[in-house]
A and B are shown apart, each in its own frame.
Chain A
């Protein structure tokens, strides 16, 4: 079954495909110009020591976002166990 969650809720190393970006204005534009658009595959790379911001891998680079920014991004996560460790 397809499961769509907020990016903040994704666990480390989890992968998925961006389905929707609900941010507008400056934040929406910043997110998009960095190539974070619907349809793109991402993977959670890690989180800063205080669990915020989050670092994600997309296209061929690493992007960081704060948790409250990640809340605006809905991701369809890969099926369980597909990629290993923590995907739930």
Chain B
């Protein structure tokens, strides 16, 4: 008797497998990948009555063939790892189709239990399942349960332990598939059993069955044994021809029909219907939600509602995070002495990582809303309604999920979006979706858009945002069409898909789903973005401006100060540099606080206070309120002139410093290429930074425009700056926005694309996207100039 049991959780999609898994394991879950493939492997542990149970969550499948990645993964796991038992989660309200997988477990012979989930739903539809009779007829233990309400979980665990105590062996069941198939099946089984060299991992009868079904994985294995292959092929051909001639079917079809025949034989006895099948609630909702006219209207309204909800709900938390990182900044500035280290920590790390985490709430609420659409069953309807459109562009109805997660409603993230393409079965449709997913307006692009829209299109903020969303969809779809009719030509895959019944999602399920996706984003901030921030800081700080140049700026400044101090207007009011420093402080506090209260304190010279007040009033244009005599007004004007000169020289110095760094060098080198688009070296630096992570664009632009540190979520000042810069106009801003929508996926997305496909495709996506971005931006900018728009 073992005290450790390993069980595999299997079942159809939408049968409540995840709910059962979560109910059993709670928070004690781990995620890994199945070896060699990107299908996620979730597992968890639970201790029940002294037994340690390890639960592995297999991917949801309808069958155990070798057509889709999920099915191969599930099958290989069962055969290679040989768990002690399978728990097959079955939707009791939809028993026939769910038992199709159960029959295949019987064929494989692995010990298993049926968990009859959703008994409540079945009952509400007038379907009464006699679980004891079902269990007797199918010869497998069955436990009724309602996983959503946590009913039957303990009974299921009891049953698992009870069954494992018996220590069952693998026993492939003998099911009849009709005379012709049965006969051939036995022949092949005998041949395989007599063939000693063949590995014994697979039960012989199951293997024979798979050969008759034309299973691709079995065919591959057979190729290694030409003699055996020939014998089996002969039998297969004979059977196949015979069946084709008599029944006009292939063996695979006949086998499926008999499996269903077997199931119907059982359910006819074990299932009673109180009500003749009629429209259930879900069908009634569908009449409305997928209606020809109202359906699309509701769909667009829903997507828009998600957009509104996300930004409304995340407003406060975004503010909290801003305050938090602001505090962290000041703390770091105080704790670390001024110099390289402080600059690294404050401008490099805190601003970089903080800028990314600042958007966490938006991302989280967006994923929460998407999880709601998914868990409620609505997402499947969206795929159903949009399939006809997406198909025209060479995609699949199910591509919609990946596109929406990546930012189809504005504010997603392409990394989980890339992962969402796993639901697509056809590799070509999947890769095409993968490649266009980075075109969507992910959360990281939003701050740049907000900045540029705020500066140049502030009268039409909402409309502009909406136009950008539509633009990104249009770009993504047309790019898909191009890809699918050139490099990824191929047939369309079937849209044979279940529309699961509508369900009210559980909060727990929603939270788990939201967290799984958000986690990808957080991980990105903690690792890649941290590294990139440091790297960018280095690139934008070194090499330093040569000493002589720094000195010449310093000399220039001190000359200015000196000439001010000796000038006739100021003499007697500001006597030395210390006085000037006090004046500066006073002036800045007056200008900022906007109140003219006396904040000077008694230690200060009255003349300095008066001067500072006068200067700030002049700067604010409130010259009418001036009561001071002409002496002060003259002195203040002189002082303001000095300030302007010093600030101008400071900016020149910062620009010279930036041009001298590695980043500046790169940006300048790129200028000849980007000039036709209207981008200068500072924009180039930001775009290069954005290749690492799009969040970096705004903060890099800020630094590049020598505004000192700016907070990427607080773009007010940079926005004003750009608006007044002669280099910028609405046309160049719009060109930059479109370029940012399209150009290169960010680094983490690229890594994900590689993981889901290959380096070749990841490389392709860089060049393809750059090409598209450059061409479109060129057309917009040059076309706009020619037509004289927006300049």
Which residues in A have some Cβ–Cβ distance to B below 8 Å? 20-21, 24, 26-38, 40, 45-53, 55, 57, 59-66, 69
Known contacts A37-B256, A63-B496: does B97 contact A46 (CB below 8 Å)?
no
Report A47 CB to chain B, min CB distance, Å: 8
Q: B387 — which chain A residues lie within 8 A by C-beta?
A: 48, 52-53, 64, 66
Task: State A64–B381 Cα separation when bound (angstroms).
Answer: 10
In whole angstroms, how far apart are the Cα atoms of A27 and B257 in the complex?
15
Is the beta-carbon distance between B125 and A60 smaller than 8 angstroms?
yes
List residues of chain B with CB within 8 A of the CB of A46. Answer: 286-287, 290
B291: chain A residues at CB < 8 Å are 49
Q: Quick check: A50 and B388 within 8 Å, CB to CB?
A: yes
Chain A interface mostly: mixed
* Docked pose: A62 CA to B290 CA in angstroms: 13
A32 touches B290 (CB 8 A): no
Task: Write out the residue numbers on chain B whose beta carbons fall within 8 Å of the beta carbon of A69.
Answer: 494-496
Contact B499 A62 (CB under 8 A): yes
Given the contacts A35-B96, A35-B100, A60-B127, A29 and B283 also touching, CB distance less than 8 Å: no
Asked if residues B385 and A60 are in contact (CB atoms below 8 Å), the reply is no
Task: Name which of B63, B97, B250 has the most chain A CB atoms within 10 A of its CB.
Answer: B97
CB of A66 within 8 A of CB of B495, answer: yes
Most buried by A among B96, B283, B391, B496: B496
**Cross-interface CB contact of B94 among A52, A53, A60, cutoff 8 Å:** A60
Residue-wise interface mask of B (271-300) relative to A, using a CB-CB cutoff of 8 A (1 in contact, 0 not): 000000100001100110011110110000
Whole-angstrom distance between the Cβ of A34 and the nearest chain B Cβ: 6
**Complex CA–CA separation, A47 to B496 (angstroms):** 14
Q: In angstroms, how far is the closest chain B Cβ from the Cβ of A69? A: 5
- B65 CB within 8 Å of chain A: yes
Taking a contact as CB atoms under 8 Å apart, the answer to whether A59 and B498 are in contact is no
Given known A35-B260, A48-B385, A49-B295, contact A64–B497 (CB-CB < 8 A): yes
B252 near A29: Cβ-Cβ < 8 Å? yes
With both beta carbons as reference points, the residue of chain B lying nearest to A62 in the complex is identified as B499
Interface string of B566-597 (1 = CB under 8 A from A): 00000000000000000000000000000000
Q: Which of B62, B253, B296 has the most CB of A within 10 A?
A: B253
Considering the chains assembled together, what is the distance between the CA atoms of A28 and B260 in angstroms? Answer: 15
User: How far does the Cβ of B241 sit from chain A's closest Cβ, in whole Å?
Assistant: 14
Can you list 22 residue pairs at the A/B interface with Cβ under 8 Å? Answer: A29-B252, A30-B494, A30-B496, A32-B256, A33-B62, A34-B97, A35-B96, A36-B496, A40-B260, A48-B385, A48-B388, A49-B296, A50-B388, A50-B389, A51-B388, A61-B498, A63-B498, A64-B496, A65-B496, A66-B494, A69-B494, A69-B495
Contact B283 A57 (CB under 8 A): yes
Partner of B260, one of A30, A37, A47, A53: A37
Say how far A20's CB is from chain B's closest CB, in angstroms. Answer: 8
Residues of B within 8 Å of A38, CB to CB, are: 257
In the complex, which residues of chain B have a beta carbon less than 8 angstroms from the beta carbon of A59? 94, 96-97
Please list the 4 inter-chain residue pairs (A to B) with the smallest Cβ-Cβ separation, ordered nearest first.
A50-B388, A32-B256, A62-B499, A30-B496
| Beta-carbon contact of B388 and A35 below 8 Å | no
Minimum distance in angstroms from B99 CB to a CB of chain A? 10
Which positions 311-345 of chain B face chain A at CB distance < 8 Å? none
Question: Would you give the shortest CB distance from A54 to chain B, in whole angstroms?
Answer: 10
Task: Name the CB-closest residue of B to A23.
Answer: B494
Contact assessment for A64 and B499 in the assembled complex, using a CB-CB cutoff below 8 Å: yes
A55 to B387, CA, bound (A): 12
Q: What residue in chain B is nearest A47 (Cβ atoms)?
A: B292
| Cβ–Cβ < 8 Å partners of A34 in chain B | 62, 97, 496, 498
CA distance A9 to B336 in the complex (A): 77
Instruction: From the candidates B93, B95, B391, B494, name the one contacting A65 in the complex (CB within 8 A).
Output: B494
State whether the Cβ of B170 lies closer than 8 Å to any Cβ in chain A. no
B67 interfacial by beta-carbon distance below 8 Å: yes
Chain A's closest residue to B99 (CB) is: A35
Asked whether A53 lies within 8 Å of B384 as measured between CB atoms, the reply is yes
Assembled-state Cα–Cα distance A30/B68 (Å): 11
Using A60-B277, A62-B286 as known contacts, say yes or no to A52 and B388 having CB atoms under 8 A apart: yes
Task: Name the B residues within 8 Å of A47 (CB-CB).
Answer: 292
Contacts of B384 in A (CB 8 A): 48, 53, 55, 64
Mark B105-145 against chain A: 1 for CB-CB distance below 8 A, else 0.
Answer: 00000000000000000000101000000000000000000
Q: Within B641-681, which residues are at the interface with A (CB < 8 Å)? A: none
Contact partners of A48 in chain B: CB under 8 A: 290, 295, 384-385, 387-388
A66 contact set on B, CB distance < 8 A: 387, 391, 494-495
- Selected from A31, A33, A51, A52, the residue in CB contact (under 8 A) with B65 is A33
Residue in chain B with minimal CB distance to A63 = B498
Rounded to whole angstroms, the CA-CA distance of A63 and B384 in the bound complex is 10
Which of B94, B291, B292, B495 has the largest count of A CB atoms less than 10 A from its CB? B495
In the bound assembly, the distance between CA atoms of A47 and B385 in angstroms comes to: 9
Q: When the two chains form the complex, which single residue of A33, A49, A50, A51 contacts B256, counting CB atoms closer than 8 Å?
A: A33
Set of chain B residues within 8 Å of A55, measured between Cβ atoms: 286, 290, 384, 499
Q: Find the A residue at minimum CB distance from B250.
A: A24
Is A21 within 8 A of B388, CB to CB?
A: no
Quick one: which of A45, A50, A60 contacts B286, CB cutoff 8 A?
A: A45
- In addition to A29-B63, A45-B286, A49-B295, 14 A-B residue pairs with Cβ atoms within 8 Å of each other are A24-B253, A32-B252, A40-B260, A49-B292, A53-B397, A55-B290, A55-B499, A57-B283, A59-B97, A60-B96, A62-B282, A64-B495, A64-B498, A66-B391
A65 → B minimal CB distance (Å): 6
Expressed in whole angstroms, the Cα–Cα distance for A48 and B292 within the complex equals: 7
Q: Mark B373-409, 1 if CB is under 8 A from A, else 0.
A: 0000000000011011101000001000000000000
Contacts of A35 in B (CB 8 A): 96-97, 100, 260
Chain B residue with the shortest CB-CB distance to A50:
B388
Whole-angstrom CA separation of A27 from B425 in the bound complex: 12
Q: How far is the CA of A33 from the CA of B64 in the complex (A)?
A: 10
Contact with A along B484-507 (1 / 0, CB 8 A): 000000000111111111000000
Complex Cα distance, B384 from A37, in Å, reads: 22
* A26 vs B100: C-alpha distance when bound (angstroms): 17
Assuming the A-B contacts A26-B67, A35-B97, A55-B290, are A62 and B498 also in contact, with contact meaning beta carbons closer than 8 angstroms in the complex? yes
In the complex the two chains form, is B494's CB within 8 Å of A49's CB?
no
Name the distance in Å between B387's Cβ and chain A's nearest Cβ.
6
Neighbouring A residues of B127 by C-beta, 8 Å:
60
Instruction: Tell me the nearest residue of chain A to B122, going by C-beta.
Output: A60
Closest CB in chain B relative to A22 CB, distance in Å? 8
Query: Do B257 and A53 have beta carbons less than 8 Å apart?
Result: no
> By the criterion CB–CB under 8 Å, are A28 and B257 in contact?
no
Contacting pair A33 B94 (CB below 8 A): no
Query: B496: which A residues are within 8 A, CB to CB?
Result: 27, 30-31, 34, 36, 63-65, 69
Is the pair B256, A29 in contact by a Cβ cutoff of 8 Å?
A: yes
Evaluate contact between A61 and B94: CB separation under 8 angstroms.
yes
A37 to B94, CA, bound (A): 16
* Cβ–Cβ < 8 Å partners of A49 in chain B: 290-293, 295-296, 385, 388
Q: How far is the CA of A15 from the CA of B387 in the complex (A)?
A: 24
B-chain residues with CB within 8 Å of residue A28 when the two chains form the complex: 250, 252-253
Instruction: Check A45 against B67 for contact (C-beta < 8 Å).
Output: no
Nearest A residue to B389, CB-CB: A50
**A51-B387 Cα distance, complex, nearest whole Å:** 11
Enumerate B44-62 residues with CB–CB distance to A below 8 Å: 62
CB distance from B497 to the nearest CB of A (A): 5
CA distance A39 to B271 in the complex (A): 19
Bound CA span A63–B283, Å: 12
Distance in Å: Cβ of B759 to nearest Cβ of chain A: 28
A28, A29, A51 — which one has the most chain B CB atoms within 10 A of its CB? A29
Alpha-carbon gap, A14 to B686, bound state (A): 60
- Least Cβ distance of B312 to chain A in Å? 29
Residues of B near A60 (CB, < 8 A) are 93-97, 125, 127, 277
Expressed in whole angstroms, the Cα–Cα distance for A32 and B385 within the complex equals 23
Q: How far is the CB of B219 from chain A (nearest CB, A)?
A: 14
